[in-house]
Every structure is written in C-alpha cells, then in structure tokens.
C-alpha cells in the first residue's frame, strides 16, 4: 500500500524548483524534507525503506532537491576525545544527550571559549584544495538533470551559529559587537575558506547546480538577535560576497534564518537573495500571512510548517488543517517550498508526518 499518495506531475523536480525560484506557476508545490535521526528511522520503518536509503525516501515523499558536496580528503585537523563527536571541518565538539524520545548530539566543551589571541591563530581551518571536487561533479551528473541540486547549506556561512559552536554563543556575539580583532580575524579566515571552497565546488559542477543555500540565524522567538545596524555593518557585506559568487554562476540564493528574522529581509532582497527558509510561524512577524503580504512577489518562501505545532502535538487531522492553511496563504504569491520549519523532531508521530506530505500532494497542486 502506498502511504504517500503523490500528486500527478507534468514537470521534473528540476523544472519545478527553477520555476519556484522564478516565482512562476508549477504543477505542484515544491517539497523539502528534514528530520532528526530518531524520527527519520521510525518513518523509514513505516515506509518499509532502510533509513540510510535517502534517495528512496525522497522519491516516496516527492522531495525535489538534493545537496551536493565535495568529500574532504585532507589530514585530520582535530582530536576526538572519548564519548565525543568532533566535526571534521569546524572542530566543534558534541556529546550525546538522551531524552524520552531518543537522543541527540549537542554542542559542548567549546574549544575557543575564553580563547587568547594565540589560540585563535592556531585553530585549524580547512584548505579548499583538500576536497574531491571531481567526485562531487560525478555525483551531481548521476542525477541526470531530473532533480534540483544545491551547494552550500544552512551552515554557510552561518557566522553566529558556526562560530558559536566553537566559542560559545556569548563569546561570539560579544566578539562581533566589540570588533575583537583576534576573533574577527579567525572568523574571516573561515569565511575565506568557505568562499573559496564554494567557488571550487560551483566551478566543478558548472551547469549542474541549480541554487546556493546559505544560513544565518538572526532572531529569537520574540525579537531580533542583533541590531539592524550591526547586521548592516558586519554581516551584510559578508552575505553579499556569497550572493555575488552565486550571481556569477547565475544561481539563485536561499537563506536559512531561524526565529524572528523578517526585519532583515529588505536587506536580503537588496543583496540578491531570492528566497528565505525556515520561517517559524510562531516567531514574531513570521506568520505566513505577514510574510506573504509584505514580501510576496519579491521573495520565495520555504518552511512555515511548524515543528512545534500540530505536527508534533496535534492529530493527523490537525496537521492537515494546518498545512492546508499555509498552502492557501503561500501558494497564491508563488515561490513557495513546502517544508518543515526545521528538522522534524523526535516527538513527532509518524502518522502526522504522513499527513503532512499527503496534504502537500493533495492540496499543493496548481494544475
């Protein structure tokens, strides 16, 4: 039995995504998928698909894009302590935190917390030469032009979070606000690596990548995390560098921003951002209607299906109503990507996830 009743399709995923970024009519809504590991495993079992077979999961759900990255081939940069995970490129440290729904790997230890000047200077940053860009191209070409492909992700450049995972959030915000030079130099070393790495990837996959995904969490649930003045002074010029790189390859840019972030969207538009992601509807000035009324026709939208609302705590019928409401607001302005506001959490019933994606296929049709 097919647990997901997919909509009839007259476009390839790649055609659909390109039209979505151009704010044009599509056969059905573009669809995305992100979950925590635990609930992904439960969903996979219900669907009868091995959890590691992401392509099969994407095909069943109707997910329209895949990320393309170049595998790291360089030396090990960071020591891995017992009972810890360490990101091989960032150096952030994680420990396992169990909870009633399963568990997750959370950031800890913060190797550059209270760091002195020498520690910032010594901390490794990867070399863009130490990646297999040929393998990235082979993987991208293997999709045969049927699905949309993206480079980057929510962690590019993600100045607050990516550095906060290494320094701690208080340190990174204080360093940026006070222009603490050793920390700023370190951040710019990482930005330089990310830009050069992204450029090498886009060049290697020229003609195969369809959009660039960036990230920068800018809000709490109730207000901006930083001032607009600070955004314009420090963050915006850096974001523009990435947008300019994407523009050189004639690729649209989507930016992941958690929390109350719409206060920065006019500046996003100015530097060439085409769409925004996450869109937590419970955060201040982030409801679907608010976004559609103020930015519809100028930005595309991805998300708005709250992972802290009916999806987690309601019935399947509640999920259907919530998803239909979002679709009814977002689809008329076009450019909407149907997706959760963040990774679907472990406290989410599988039947609600099935209801979510069935609603997208049933009520997300435009022809």
d(CA 295, CA 300): 8
Backbone angles phi, psi at 32, to 5 degrees: -125, 170
As beta bridge partners, residue 344 has 35
- Round to whole Å and give the CA distance between 252 and 216: 17
> For residues 215 and 219, what is the distance between their CA atoms, to the nearest angstrom?
12
For residue 214, the tally of other CB atoms under 10 A from its CB is 25
Is 354's pLDDT higher than 90? yes
Backbone angles phi, psi at 164, to 5 degrees: -65, -30
Residue 221: predicted pLDDT: 95
Q: Is 45 helix (H, G, I), strand (E, B) or coil?
A: helix
> Which pLDDT does position 1 carry in this prediction?
59
The CA distance from 253 to 251, in Å, is 7
- Cβ contact 143:137 at 8 Å: no
SS (H, E, C) 226-265: CCHHHHHHHHHHHHHHHHHHHHHCCCCEEEEECCCCHHHH
Among candidate residues 265, 171, 251, 169, the one with its CA nearest the CA of residue 209: 251
Average pLDDT over residues 317-337: 97
Give pLDDT tens digits for 108-163: 999 999 999 999 999 999 999 999 999 999 999 999 999 999 999 999 999 999 99
- Which domains, from first to last, does the chain contain? 13-75+119-363 (3.20.20.210)
Return d(Cα 60, Cα 3) in angstroms, integer: 9
Is-contact 302 276, C-beta < 8 A? yes
Q: How confident is the model at residue 299 (pLDDT cuts 50, 70, 90)?
A: very high
Cβ contacts of 310 within 8 Å, gap of 6 or more: 318, 319, 321, 322, 352
Higher pLDDT, 101 or 335: 335
Q: What is the pLDDT of residues 66-77, one digit of tens each?
A: 999 999 999 999
pLDDT at residue 367, rounded to an integer: 65
CA-CA distance, 252 to 350, in Å (whole number)?
A: 33
Q: Residue 116 CB: number of other CB atoms within 10 A?
A: 10
């Amino acid at each position: 039995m097919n647990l997901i009743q997919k909509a009839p399709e007259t476009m390839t995923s790649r055609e659909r995504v390109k039209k979505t970024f151009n704010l044009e009519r599509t056969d059905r809504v573009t669809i995305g998928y992100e979950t925590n590991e635990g609930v992904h495993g439960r969903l996979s079992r219900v669907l009868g698909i091995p959890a590691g077979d992401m392509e099969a999961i994407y095909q069943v759900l109707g997910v329209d894009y895949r990320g393309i990255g170049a595998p790291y081939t360089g030396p090990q940069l960071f020591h891995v302590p017992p009972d810890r995970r360490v990101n091989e490129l960032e150096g952030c440290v994680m420990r396992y935190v169990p909870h009633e729904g399963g568990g997750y790997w959370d950031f800890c230890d913060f190797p550059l917390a209270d760091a002195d000047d020498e520690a910032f200077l010594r901390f490794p940053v990867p070399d863009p030469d130490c990646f297999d860009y040929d393998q990235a191209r082979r993987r991208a070409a293997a999709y045969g032009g049927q699905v949309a492909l993206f480079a980057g992700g929510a962690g590019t450049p993600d100045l607050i979070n990516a550095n906060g995972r290494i320094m701690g959030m208080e340190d990174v915000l204080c360093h940026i606000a006070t222009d603490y030079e050793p920390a700023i130099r370190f951040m710019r070393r990482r930005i330089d690596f990310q830009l050069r790495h992204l450029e090498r990837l886009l060049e290697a996959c020229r003609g195969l990548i369809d959009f660039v995904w960036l990230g920068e969490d800018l809000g709490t649930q109730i207000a901006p995390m930083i001032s607009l003045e600070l955004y314009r002074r420090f963050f915006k010029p850096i974001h523009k560098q990435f947008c300019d790189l994407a523009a050189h390859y004639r690729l649209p840019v989507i930016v992941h921003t958690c929390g109350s972030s719409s206060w920065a969207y006019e500046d996003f538009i100015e530097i060439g951002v085409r769409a925004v992601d996450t869109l937590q509807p419970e955060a201040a000035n982030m409801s679907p209607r608010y976004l559609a009324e103020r930015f519809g026709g100028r930005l595309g939208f991805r998300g708005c299906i709250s992972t802290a609302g009916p999806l987690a705590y309601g019935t399947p019928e509640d999920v259907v109503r919530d998803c239909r409401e979002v679709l009814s607001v977002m689809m008329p302005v076009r450019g909407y990507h149907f997706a959760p506001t963040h990774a679907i959490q472990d406290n989410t019933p599988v039947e609600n996830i099935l209801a979510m994606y069935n609603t997208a296929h049933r009520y997300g049709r435009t022809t």
